[in-house]
Structure 1
Amino acid sequence: MDIGSYLSVNARNFGERPALSCEGRDYSYFQFNEEVNKLAHGLLHHTNINKGEKAALLMKNSDYFVFAYFALAKLGAVIVPVNFRLTKDEVQYIFQQSETAVVIGDEAFGELIEEASKNTTIRSIITTGKPKVPTHLSYSYVLSKKKENPELEVAETDDLEILYTSGTTGKPKGALFDHRRIFNVGLTMITGMEINQHDRFLHIAPLFHSVQLNLFLVSGVILGAYHVIHRDFDPIKTLEAIEEHKITHFFGVPAMYNFLLQVPNAQHYDLSSIKRCGYGAAPMAPEIISRSMKLFQTDRFFNLCGLTEAGPGGILLDPEGHKKHLGKGGKPFFMTEARVVDDTGEDVKPGSVGEFILRGETIMKEYYRKPEETKKALRNGWLHTGDLAVKDDEGFITLVDRKKDMIISGGENVYSIEVENVLYEHPYVIDAATIGLPDEVWGEAVTAVVVPKEGAVIDAQELKQFCRKKLAGYKVPREIIIEQQLPRNASGKILKYQLRTKFQKAEAE
């Protein structure tokens, strides 16, 4: 079955069951399916979108995002979720590279979408609110009166999503998935976290992220669970929602848990409905995990350590693992194999560092329109992640570093070369390196170590402002460190591990 058909089946089998709640708008599964069908028919009529064409979603969390996703899935379109924090140039590249034909976006992003759509294959732009650009269509105008399921044949082998993840070149790569792979991603959560149709999900992490989208929204809809959608993350509103809606399943990135712990009267909220808590997308300190267990009054915590290219998928540390191996990554997801190998592809000995590689039923088909990058990543059936890891005697795997020097700040992936390319554009910078330093709130803080040109004086705040004009906010360095030179090896490569060691020690002193 394709992903959209599961919603149709649920509407027939238990249509009156509560399905969605967002900003006071509530839907049963029957109403949910009708809203999706009305949009699907409207998209066919107003945009003439064909099966296999790409449709981008540039939206914050909302019921409209969910309707758009499932409407496009029913039409056999390929969905391209876009990070709404990106700049115009970054968005435009994704539109161009994915060959996007249709965009559905929030009113607040109308002008950004219009600018980014220039010199692309986009022919239709739909806005959820009142369009700011005359040529854009309003979401309400596009809706059809037809409520029946579209009569289109969509196979499980048809493409469903392109999920963009930045690469070491600084240009994003689009991981391509079909319906079957995304169903398998959901199945890993159904088995790994023991979720069921009676669960009640709170979606506060962005739905453009594969974690919130595929692990929890898609799997929850397949099961017929209940979903509460929040447009933005607010610690107090999150606690209120858990109490009001009796949320049973909570997922957040480490920064969100940290913010919840800062709420002065957090312990006064009734959080007893929570059965399971998941975290991931960034390292989470054991101390924060322990405090979060006390806040939520449960030890049923799951560490989800995965990659976008795997759907996401990878390794999982379950509640029993937390009791003995707090701080480790975990063991492979259901339907997934994981190894730690050396440069020859042989398994390293326990305790030794090697590359983390994956194989399984959730791994992407390819990097869309990037054959060379695909060949490098997918070799002999294995996804070579570029991440460094260590495996212990019991089979628990822990990531220890990243070959690609990726920084994870507040759940967002930041690749050093993206930031460095901008730093090098500054007239006073002659050398630069970007590293991630531990941060209690964000997991890792983006830190730029720069060397000024001879005779130049770099103003840290001015350099941050310079970066802010060219990078999404979460990629802008939180700290600028001025050095006279950077450590390099004989080949001229910057030794970033030395920088991390040096400045971690400096902060500890």
Structure 2
Amino acid sequence: MVEATQTPPARLHWEGAAALPPAAREALLGPGAPFELGVEDVLGRPHTVFVRRPRTLRALLEDKTPAQLDLPFLVSVPTGRTWTYRDAMADMDAIALLLQQRYGVRPGDRIAIVAANHAEYALLMWAVVTIGAVVTGLNGWWTGPELRFGIALSSPVLVVGDARRLERIESSSVPAGVPVVRLDELHADAQQFLGRSPEPVDIAEDDPAVLLFTSGTTGRPKGAVLTHRNIVNFALVGRLSGAMAMATAPPPPAGWTPPQACSVVTGPLFHVSGIAPVLVTAAASPTKLVFPTPGRWDPVVLMELVQAHRATYLAGVPTQFWRLLRHPDVARYDLSTVTSTSTGGSAFPPELVRALHERFPRVRLGNGYGMTETVGLGARIGNDEFLDVPESVGPAQATVEIEVRRDDGSVAVEHEVGEVFLRSPSVFLGYWGDEAATAAALHENRWYRTGDFGRISGGLLFLESRRRDLIIRGGENVYPIEIENRLIEHPDVDDAAVIGVDHPDLGQEPKAFVVPRAGSGLTEAAVRAWCGQALAAFKVPATVEFRTALPYSDTGKLLKVRLEEEQAGR
């Protein structure tokens, strides 16, 4: 009699240590080692943490050797100025002292910032967290009423911005007595304090550091509060990944010195993709951050800066990578210094993975799964595994636990689709001024409910869809991402999105919005036939609508809600 085997529960935790040789494992993760892991209480709940961690963001930044302090940190393309780490810390301290003495900023106060990306924006962010205040990133694309909402919700003691965006703030939006200051003027005024240190303050690990507004694609934005612990933990996960890569790589040639890491900052600083390089990557390891002249993302500008500054890392959303790869002049630029690329938040279309690997065969490709509420931490896949299983977002990262749960809250089994829950020291404190939303998102023992559908198979997390995107067609579950991946594989399709539309008998049916390649002559029948070759009949879009472009937010998120609203209004 053969005993039946039980399907394991859909749970993931970090298992990366198993890939290390024993000596490297002991040196990196053993007792007393730099990345030793242990279990401690975080806000009253047990979590896996780094035992030897900096307790504040400023302590993380200062964890540099004297030689590293003299490496380039911030490069401003518009002004041509470069700050070393030492220069930048002097400016941070001067701004911090100005905030304390002129504006009376104290720990816990919110400083609202609304500006395009500037090196001075980054310096202000660091000054704010240095004195225990809270960086409040107002969306630089918001209109006047939206800015009024963000200011009212966060109640800042100071509003700072560039001239273009401050013009959108109506005088009635700012409470009486709250100063409104231009970013460039604030930086200039702070120079009088150069060489002096701010007044010392007490900062706890779980004190707020950053307030970021969610994208608001399904309603009014919520202010996610990230703590020093949240961001420091994410930084240490990245530092550990780098140390593990070095420990398992072939020994370098004698006398070889690796180039300094360099990244062109493309993510807006009011978004987690923007604070990550400024408050995480460059704090965890010496990295040169290049700030382009503010303006709409342009693949030519990016390629020029990569070539000029010998950038080693590219980050972006799938749409940006497609535009880069398909640009007619991509071969004219020297992009050979790029050694790694990554994106986050969604599964990479397999066809894009193949195209990136063809263009950058020696580059370490990667994709991560996380969100604002986790500082982007969750799952991550890279290198050969990414090429082999591009539809996955990977195994759990260090300190992270992942579960897939059924609607009744029970843990699903492997291969079963359910809702993804995450837990780590990087899970946010809650939504500012919104206890109901916080309670809905943070479940027992501080598990964060992502709202995403996924499954766990073979130690990897696979995303299926956002819960709100699920299409139920005649009782059959249809996940749009599966159709979208098939659509984007068509050589004449530049972009695609799928939503559910009402049907009198079936309940819903999938509709595809397709951006065809210019001059391709693509037809609806050809699109449906292409899908039908690889997908079950009930997954084939019932209708196809061609567009010149799809709606995206300023952070690169596809706004399906816009498509749904348009459809509902017909």
With normalisation by structure 1, the TM-score equals 0.77
1:258 and 2:322 correspond: yes
Counterpart of 2:133 in structure 1 is 77
1:391–1:122 CA distance, 2 compared to 1 (3 A): farther
Deviations 1:120-179 (A, max 9, x none): 4770212135xxxxxxx6542354333333132233332101121146861211111211
Q: Which runs of 5+ in 1 are unaligned?
A: 130-136, 407-434, 450-485
Counterpart of 1:340 in structure 2 is 404
Counterpart of 1:165 in structure 2 is 214
In structure 1, which of residues 204, 210, 213 is the aligned counterpart of residue 266 of structure 2?
A: 204
Q: Which runs of 5+ in 2 are unaligned?
A: 1-54, 247-258, 471-479, 513-537, 547-570
Counterpart of 2:223 in structure 1 is 174
Alignment-mate amino acid for residue 120 of structure 2: Y
Counterpart of 1:86 in structure 2 is 142
Counterpart of 1:151 in structure 2 is 199
In structure 1, which of residues 501, 506, 509 is the aligned counterpart of residue 543 of structure 2?
A: 506
In structure 2, which of residues 430, 434, 450 is the aligned counterpart of residue 385 of structure 1?
A: 450
After superposition, where does 1:106-505 map in structure 2 within 5 Å? 106-115=162-171, 118=173, 120=175, 123-129=178-184, 139-153=187-201, 154-166=203-215, 170-192=219-241, 198-214=260-276, 217-230=279-292, 231-232=294-295, 233-381=297-445, 382-392=447-457, 394-405=458-469, 438=484, 486-487=502-503, 498-499=510-511, 504-505=541-542
Deviates more, 1:242-251 or 1:218-227: 218-227
In structure 2, C-alpha distance between the alignment counterparts of 1:504 and 1:37, rounded to whole Å:
57
> 2:238·2:284 contact (CA, 8 Å) conserved in 1?
no
In structure 2, C-alpha distance between the alignment counterparts of 1:442 and 1:106, rounded to whole Å:
35
- Structure ranking higher on relative contact order (CA contacts 8 Å, 6+ apart): 2
Deviation at 1:351, TM superposition (A): 2.5
Deviations 1:64-114 (A, max 9, x none): 111110010111111111221122222221211112221221111121134
> 1:96·1:121 contact (CA, 8 Å) conserved in 2?
no
Deviation at 1:496, TM superposition (A): 6.0
Deviates more, 1:229-238 or 1:495-504: 495-504
1:313 counterpart SS class? coil
Deviations 1:222-272 (A, max 9, x none): 322221122342211211211221111221111111111122121232222
In structure 1, C-alpha distance between the alignment counterparts of 2:336 and 2:162, rounded to whole Å:
35
1:142–1:504 CA distance, 2 compared to 1 (3 A): farther
In structure 2, which of residues 84, 97, 106 is the aligned counterpart of residue 41 of structure 1?
A: 97
1:357 counterpart SS class? strand
> 2:343·2:367 contact (CA, 8 Å) conserved in 1?
yes
1:162–1:184 CA distance, 2 compared to 1 (3 A): same
> 1:158·1:178 contact (CA, 8 Å) conserved in 2?
yes
In structure 1, C-alpha distance between the alignment counterparts of 2:129 and 2:373, rounded to whole Å:
20
Let me know the Cα RMSD of the aligned residues: 3.1
> 2:114·2:140 contact (CA, 8 Å) conserved in 1?
yes
1:372 counterpart SS class? helix
Counterpart of 1:415 in structure 2 is none
Alignment-mate amino acid for residue 208 of structure 2: D
> 1:282·1:443 contact (CA, 8 Å) conserved in 2?
no
In structure 1, which of residues 78, 93, 96 is the aligned counterpart of residue 152 of structure 2?
A: 96
1:166–1:241 CA distance, 2 compared to 1 (3 A): closer
1:113 counterpart SS class? coil
> 2:75·2:83 contact (CA, 8 Å) conserved in 1?
yes
1:303 counterpart SS class? strand
In structure 1, C-alpha distance between the alignment counterparts of 2:409 and 2:227, rounded to whole Å:
28
1:508–1:89 CA distance, 2 compared to 1 (3 A): closer
Deviations 1:170-225 (A, max 9, x none): 12111112111110111222234668993222211222211231266522223222
In structure 1, C-alpha distance between the alignment counterparts of 2:496 and 2:156, rounded to whole Å:
33
Deviation at 1:397, TM superposition (A): 1.3
> 2:500·2:511 contact (CA, 8 Å) conserved in 1?
no
In structure 2, C-alpha distance between the alignment counterparts of 1:120 and 1:499, rounded to whole Å:
46
> 2:349·2:390 contact (CA, 8 Å) conserved in 1?
no
Deviates more, 1:440-449 or 1:230-239: 440-449
> 1:266·1:295 contact (CA, 8 Å) conserved in 2?
no
1:54 and 2:110 correspond: yes
Counterpart of 1:20 in structure 2 is 74
Deviates more, 1:86-95 or 1:9-18: 9-18
In structure 2, C-alpha distance between the alignment counterparts of 1:444 and 1:162, rounded to whole Å:
32
> 1:267·1:295 contact (CA, 8 Å) conserved in 2?
no
With normalisation by structure 2, the TM-score equals 0.69
1:45–1:113 CA distance, 2 compared to 1 (3 A): farther
In structure 1, C-alpha distance between the alignment counterparts of 2:408 and 2:500, rounded to whole Å:
34
In structure 2, C-alpha distance between the alignment counterparts of 1:206 and 1:283, rounded to whole Å:
21
Alignment-mate amino acid for residue 506 of structure 1: T
Deviation at 1:498, TM superposition (A): 4.4
1:100 counterpart SS class? coil
1:95–1:70 CA distance, 2 compared to 1 (3 A): same
Deviates more, 1:190-199 or 1:18-27: 190-199
2:192 counterpart SS class? coil
Deviation at 1:280, TM superposition (A): 2.1
In structure 2, which of residues 59, 66, 70 is the aligned counterpart of residue 5 of structure 1?
A: 59
Deviation at 1:315, TM superposition (A): 1.3
1:184–1:43 CA distance, 2 compared to 1 (3 A): same
In structure 1, C-alpha distance between the alignment counterparts of 2:67 and 2:197, rounded to whole Å:
15
1:358 counterpart SS class? strand
In structure 1, C-alpha distance between the alignment counterparts of 2:269 and 2:357, rounded to whole Å:
25
In structure 2, C-alpha distance between the alignment counterparts of 1:119 and 1:200, rounded to whole Å:
38
In structure 2, C-alpha distance between the alignment counterparts of 1:443 and 1:335, rounded to whole Å:
35
